[in-house]
Chains A and B, each alone.
Chain A
Amino acid sequence: MMDSTVLFLPELILIASILSIPAIYIATNNDKSYSICSNISLFVSLLIVILFWYFPDDVSFDKSSSSYVIYDHFVINDFSQLFKVIFLMSALAVSVISSSYFKEDEPHQAEYYVLLLSSTLGMLVTASANDFLTIFVGIEISAFSSYALVAFRKTDDKSSEAGAKYLLIGAFSSALTLYGISLLYALTGSITFDGVNAFLTGIQNGVIDGDFSELVFISSLFIIAGLGFKIAIVPFHAWAPDVYEGAPTPVTTLLAAASKAMGFVALFKVFIFTLGPFSDEWRLILGILALASMTIGNLAALSQKDIGRMLAYSSIAQAGYILIAFPALTHEAISGAIAHTMVHAFMKGGAFVIVAGVGATGLGYNITSFKGLAQRSQLLALSMTVCLLSLVGLPPLAGFISKFLLFYGVLQVGVGGETWIIALVVAGVLNSALSLYYYLKVIRFMYLYDPEESEEIVFSNSIRYVSLVVIISLVVVIPLFYQDLYSLCEDAATTLFA
């Protein structure tokens, strides 16, 4: 048992760091020390997660199946580790750029980093959760920290408003999820994913008597509504533009990159792994929601003037693309969905990093504030271009690869006989073409216009480094090694279909 507890080390490091930042606050007045503490702890946990992957034998991490920690509330497998890497990388990027985003005398920086780390901790717990209770606790740890993070700038009206909206809607959605879970618990008498899955399979196989399809249908509806708020799909999306616009941009980066992926982790676990046997009850609903999300998201994004709102609507559309893998429900489709969730974290996070960088210099968050960015900084303009074109899915960028894998998996089901799924794919590619328009608008402002003010603007080094990493991963690493990316996602998907 001792060995398995080592697998809990990344989470333990974050907890230690969360506890030590207040201590540092008491001991010293140096604002830099909190960010250093947070950077180091996130980096070390990331390193440990990756090391586990490469040296599974030393920590008795069973790659072929799953390892359990704390009885079996925690599961460590390819799926959880893959997403932990994404969460920790996004959180690390956010932590790195936060120090340059805040002014020297920004108050409450210690609290900010504690909240950032606890939000990340919640995501890690979600990735490893093996029962409904743990996943709920994980989501809530993350969500409560983000409510406070969104409203972090108390003096800023927009930030407070966004925080209040996020809190109210978040609490409402949690209640819905919880009600869906309680219905499932009442039906199956179990809160573990394996237990519920076994019971439902039993019903399908006729081992357990009774027609419970309506009950499963209702509880899936509640869970879709609850988790739908987290991943911001239509019609549960209304909070996203306001929150993305109002929150401090590094926090928006965290919400767009990691928090969204966390919602999908929960969705994968609940629908693919647990409710898989009753897929007929929820496939059509998710298909329709996917179609609505991508179309409405893209249409609304066309007319946005605030870059944060535009990217929020683009996020809603992207959630729609990922969601089409759920009705397809095959190993290939889910692998593609996992790949696109991962790459989406990179490109959307990358785009928000640039937005934070531009916003921090006082240029503002309007799309027009990107005018002439190419003349101010070639690197940031190139990075933004790469992120946006990648969101469109233009080859040979990473976004094309992952979108291709996603549509590839889904279309396979469509060609295999379920023709309505082909319509989802066609809607997806047409929406990609539609989205090109508003992304190009930003690119046009960056390259074809001169800056409005000629004053010299210096972008902080941390933003430049992070955007360089984003460019390299989106242009070189992921496209060149996409075979490896795909096998990672396939391994992760395998654990869902176990």
Chain B
Amino acid sequence: VVHLKSSKFIFAIIFGLLAFSGFSSAEDHTIYVGTEDNPYVFSEPNLVISPGDNVTFVWTLGQPHNVAQVDSATSNAFVANGDIVLKFYSGEPVDGATWILNSTYTQDEGVLYYICEPHAGLQMRGQIVIESRPDLTMELGDFPWLSYLLVFPLIGAIWCFSFRNSPEAHKYIALSTTLFTLVISCIVFSKAGSGSGFRLVEEYEWAPNLGVSLLLGVDGISTPLVLLTGIIGPLTVIFSWHEKEKPALFFSLLLIMQTALYGVFITLDYFVFYIFWEVVLIPMFFLIAIWGGDNRKYASIKFFIYTFTASVIMLVGFMALYFEAGVNSFSMIDIANNSSGFSREFQIWVFAALFIGFAVKIPSVPWHTWLPDAHVQAPTAGSILLAGVMLKMGLYGLMRAALPPLPIGAEAFVPLMVALAIISILYGAVLSLAQTDLKKLVAYSSVSHMGVALLGVATMTELGFAGAVFMMFAHGILSPAMFMVAGVLLHQLGTREIPKLGGIAQKQPTTTGLFVVIFMGSLGVPGMAVFVSELSVFIAFFESHGYLLLLPIFGMVFTAGYHLWALQRAIFGADNEKVDMAKVHEAPWYEMYPMFILIVIAAFFGIFPHYLMDPISTGSYDILDFMGVI
């Protein structure tokens, strides 16, 4: 009850702050002559616009400048040295008057200079850079690596299921398939490198009349996620090595799930993207429904309906994009390259439709309620895939499918995104503090961590984007490790309730060592991957929103709190009478190694972040450059 009230309080504060921070969107650009601080400067002395945009000059009200409006009746723009020069004359100022530089002067690319001489010897200068939006580019691959990513897990799934009567074969098949796809993922990661544009592009026609094709390609945003999907695959299989209930079906579903996840991350066609997006739901539904906990029937249906409802709205948004672009193609590249004519109203509506679809998947407060249910009820392997890879679909989709064609819509949604992100960070952290079920705690901490990533996207800066993608990767490594901790405890003691645990450190020192490192990594200790991403996001957020940063930073205190408190109560502390110490032992190899490998990866990318940051930065820059934000 307490946390509900506090959440309302937080809502109120944040919306209040945002109302003060103010936000202007720029379809028609405005330049103020004279600012509040200095009447002798232009508000935006270095403006970048697209060809054909209008620029309005507005004389600030009540300022003691004596800059007269250009007389629009006379010739007010002339060519000097090959550039168009606007000249303002001194004279009687007209408060609040406007003058519009119309599109005839902004047709061609180039630079417009304008000069204003309020006094003799005092010159106000400014320039307008006219640049057309760059096109998204792509480079065809010479070898169908990306199709392999889709085909092999699927073949593995069928192969696995056909050996359902053999006692052992299916898990070796699943392991070898996932290891093989991991190798291909690494190849894709290194081949794609950190160059600009889409790499390794393949295109197969499916329905040319409608403009649907299987268009595959990766850039700096998607390669880390492809790598992540590859890494998580074999670890899930190893961790479920001793699955006893219908193991063949279990591993087949894991492999189908992996195919669909790869599909989401490498498809560049809205139609096919949507298909993979929804196909992810089916294996996940059955993983929760068949192998889940006691309340699995409720959780699986809630999960399915929640995410399906959101994504059908998203589908309408995709179709609207397709019609408005008018290129008879569902290709994300083609639609984005033809999106310059989208009106502001259209962009806002469509972005809203897409944002609903993505925000539920992220999940952002207030659409997060399916996540704790699904996580708690899912089997450990399901949780690992859900938290590790599936939660990344939302933000990835936002950056890939929604931002490039809808820059104005995105800009209009920045305040909302910031608010939701901050609320997610704080609310998720506060709720984590209150949980007694270890898995539920990790679920709410996911809400909080993904809030940080959403905050990074909402800054609309290169560093923020990079931090967000890095957070997706880092959280994709460390939250599966956290779920493995919960899984180990459940296997040994039959419970994940923190009050029923405690004092088990002495009986399993090595395992406890791993637990501690995982918790530290997840709370953001320097040297582990999560720290890098949090730092980048917070720096970017400070640059864009200033001291509003105090709110998310405040959330970090809770984050450290719930991690350490849970660790202290569940693992260390006095021996708990409720714990049957005879059952406590070191984790078996198939649980130990996955955790160890995840720690190594998290530490590696925490110490050498540039291996990931280089491609991510290029990908982020491409998107922002295309949107015309930088």
B550 interface residue per 8 A CB criterion: no
**Interface of chain B: mostly helix, strand, loop or mixed:** helix
B323:A440 contact, CB within 8 angstroms: no
B514 interface residue per 8 A CB criterion: no
B209:A415 contact, CB within 8 angstroms: no
Residues of chain A with a CB closer than 8 A to B115's CB: none
A277 interface residue per 8 A CB criterion: no
A448 interface residue per 8 A CB criterion: yes
A395's partner among B207, B208, B279, B296 (CB-CB below 8 A) is: B279
The smallest C-beta distance from A1 to any residue of chain B, in angstroms, reads 37
Residues of chain A with a CB closer than 8 A to B275's CB: 395-396, 400
B579 interface residue per 8 A CB criterion: no
Rounded to whole angstroms, the CA-CA distance of A318 and B164 in the bound complex is 38
A411:B208 contact, CB within 8 angstroms: no
A432:B312 contact, CB within 8 angstroms: yes
Residues of chain B with a CB closer than 8 A to A380's CB: none
Rounded to whole angstroms, the CA-CA distance of A416 and B281 in the bound complex is 33
| Mask of B278-310 contacts with A, CB within 8 angstroms, 1/0 | 110110001001100000110011001100110
Knowing A432-B312, A440-B304 touch, does A486 contact B290 (C-beta < 8 A)? no
B206 interface residue per 8 A CB criterion: yes
B274 interface residue per 8 A CB criterion: yes
| Mask of A456-498 contacts with B, CB within 8 angstroms, 1/0 | 0000000000000000000000000011001100000000000
B79 interface residue per 8 A CB criterion: no
Knowing A436-B308, A487-B209 touch, does A395 contact B278 (C-beta < 8 A)? yes
A188 interface residue per 8 A CB criterion: no
B309's partner among A433, A441, A487 (CB-CB below 8 A) is: A433
Considering only residues 389-405 of chain A, those with a C-beta below 8 Å from chain B are 389, 392-396, 400, 404
Rounded to whole angstroms, the CA-CA distance of A393 and B323 in the bound complex is 21
B320 interface residue per 8 A CB criterion: yes
B209:A429 contact, CB within 8 angstroms: no
Rounded to whole angstroms, the CA-CA distance of A444 and B316 in the bound complex is 28
The smallest C-beta distance from B358 to any residue of chain A, in angstroms, reads 16
Rounded to whole angstroms, the CA-CA distance of A437 and B303 in the bound complex is 11
A407 interface residue per 8 A CB criterion: yes
A175 interface residue per 8 A CB criterion: no
Rounded to whole angstroms, the CA-CA distance of A363 and B252 in the bound complex is 31
A433:B316 contact, CB within 8 angstroms: no
B207:A444 contact, CB within 8 angstroms: no
Residues of chain A with a CB closer than 8 A to B271's CB: 404
A430:B309 contact, CB within 8 angstroms: yes
A483:B206 contact, CB within 8 angstroms: yes
B-side interface size class: 20 to 34
The smallest C-beta distance from B467 to any residue of chain A, in angstroms, reads 32
B323's partner among A394, A411, A482 (CB-CB below 8 A) is: A411
B210 interface residue per 8 A CB criterion: yes
| Total number of residue pairs linking A and B with CB closer than 8 Å | 77
The smallest C-beta distance from B514 to any residue of chain A, in angstroms, reads 35
The smallest C-beta distance from A375 to any residue of chain B, in angstroms, reads 11
Rounded to whole angstroms, the CA-CA distance of A486 and B289 in the bound complex is 36
Rounded to whole angstroms, the CA-CA distance of A65 and B239 in the bound complex is 64
The smallest C-beta distance from A470 to any residue of chain B, in angstroms, reads 18
Rounded to whole angstroms, the CA-CA distance of A444 and B301 in the bound complex is 9
A47 interface residue per 8 A CB criterion: no
Residues of chain B with a CB closer than 8 A to A53's CB: none
Rounded to whole angstroms, the CA-CA distance of A407 and B271 in the bound complex is 13
Residues of chain B with a CB closer than 8 A to A416's CB: 323
A408:B312 contact, CB within 8 angstroms: no
Rounded to whole angstroms, the CA-CA distance of A325 and B225 in the bound complex is 40
B289:A447 contact, CB within 8 angstroms: yes
The smallest C-beta distance from A104 to any residue of chain B, in angstroms, reads 36
Knowing A415-B324, A447-B289, A486-B210 touch, does A429 contact B297 (C-beta < 8 A)? no
B323:A425 contact, CB within 8 angstroms: no
Residues of chain B with a CB closer than 8 A to A486's CB: 207, 209-210
| Mask of A416-450 contacts with B, CB within 8 angstroms, 1/0 | 10000000011001101100110011001001100
A412 interface residue per 8 A CB criterion: yes
| Mask of A266-302 contacts with B, CB within 8 angstroms, 1/0 | 0000000000000000000000000000000000000
The smallest C-beta distance from A232 to any residue of chain B, in angstroms, reads 24
A437's partner among B208, B282, B301 (CB-CB below 8 A) is: B301
The smallest C-beta distance from B73 to any residue of chain A, in angstroms, reads 39
| Mask of A358-393 contacts with B, CB within 8 angstroms, 1/0 | 000000000000000000000000000000010011
B290:A433 contact, CB within 8 angstroms: no
The smallest C-beta distance from A399 to any residue of chain B, in angstroms, reads 12
B274:A448 contact, CB within 8 angstroms: no
The smallest C-beta distance from B311 to any residue of chain A, in angstroms, reads 9
**Interface of chain A: mostly helix, strand, loop or mixed:** helix
A436's partner among B210, B296, B304 (CB-CB below 8 A) is: B304
Residues of chain B with a CB closer than 8 A to A448's CB: 289-290, 296-297
A394:B282 contact, CB within 8 angstroms: yes
B319:A408 contact, CB within 8 angstroms: yes
A425:B316 contact, CB within 8 angstroms: yes
A483:B208 contact, CB within 8 angstroms: yes
A440:B305 contact, CB within 8 angstroms: yes
Rounded to whole angstroms, the CA-CA distance of A361 and B477 in the bound complex is 51
Residues of chain B with a CB closer than 8 A to A404's CB: 271, 315
A429:B312 contact, CB within 8 angstroms: yes
B493 interface residue per 8 A CB criterion: no
Interface centre among A395, A425, A486 (most CB of B within 10 A): A395
Rounded to whole angstroms, the CA-CA distance of A411 and B315 in the bound complex is 11
B316's partner among A389, A407, A412, A441 (CB-CB below 8 A) is: A407
The smallest C-beta distance from B541 to any residue of chain A, in angstroms, reads 34
Knowing A447-B289, A486-B210 touch, does A429 contact B313 (C-beta < 8 A)? yes
Closest to B314 in A: A429
Knowing A395-B275, A444-B289, A448-B289 touch, does A411 contact B312 (C-beta < 8 A)? no
Closest to A479 in B: B275
Knowing A407-B316, A411-B316, A440-B305 touch, does A394 contact B278 (C-beta < 8 A)? yes
Rounded to whole angstroms, the CA-CA distance of A444 and B208 in the bound complex is 38
A415:B206 contact, CB within 8 angstroms: no
Closest to B298 in A: A444
A444:B297 contact, CB within 8 angstroms: yes
Considering only residues 295-350 of chain B, those with a C-beta below 8 Å from chain A are 296-297, 300-301, 304-305, 308-309, 312-313, 315-316, 319-320, 323-324
The smallest C-beta distance from A240 to any residue of chain B, in angstroms, reads 25
A411:B301 contact, CB within 8 angstroms: no
B315:A429 contact, CB within 8 angstroms: yes
Knowing A411-B323, A436-B304, A487-B209 touch, does A426 contact B316 (C-beta < 8 A)? yes
The smallest C-beta distance from A270 to any residue of chain B, in angstroms, reads 28
B274's partner among A395, A408, A411, A447 (CB-CB below 8 A) is: A395
Residues of chain A with a CB closer than 8 A to B282's CB: 389, 394
Knowing A395-B278, A448-B297 touch, does A412 contact B305 (C-beta < 8 A)? no
Rounded to whole angstroms, the CA-CA distance of A393 and B275 in the bound complex is 11
Residues of chain B with a CB closer than 8 A to A426's CB: 313, 316
Rounded to whole angstroms, the CA-CA distance of A404 and B316 in the bound complex is 10
Closest to B326 in A: A415
The smallest C-beta distance from A4 to any residue of chain B, in angstroms, reads 32
Closest to A412 in B: B323
B207's partner among A393, A411, A432, A483 (CB-CB below 8 A) is: A483
Knowing A411-B323, A415-B323, A447-B290 touch, does A394 contact B308 (C-beta < 8 A)? yes
Considering only residues 225-261 of chain A, those with a C-beta below 8 Å from chain B are none
Interface residues of chain B, those whose CB is within 8 Å of chain A, are: 206-210, 271, 274-275, 278-279, 281-282, 286, 289-290, 296-297, 300-301, 304-305, 308-309, 312-313, 315-316, 319-320, 323-324
A395-B278, A430-B309 given; name 12 further pairs at CB < 8 Å. Answer: A392-B308, A411-B316, A415-B320, A415-B323, A426-B313, A430-B313, A436-B305, A437-B305, A447-B286, A447-B289, A448-B290, A483-B210
Q: 21 A-B contacts, Cβ less than 8 Å apart?
A: A394-B282, A395-B278, A396-B279, A404-B271, A408-B319, A411-B323, A415-B320, A425-B316, A426-B313, A426-B316, A429-B315, A432-B312, A436-B308, A436-B309, A440-B304, A441-B301, A447-B289, A447-B290, A448-B297, A483-B209, A486-B207
Q: 3 closest Cβ contacts across the A-B interface?
A: A433-B309, A395-B275, A429-B312
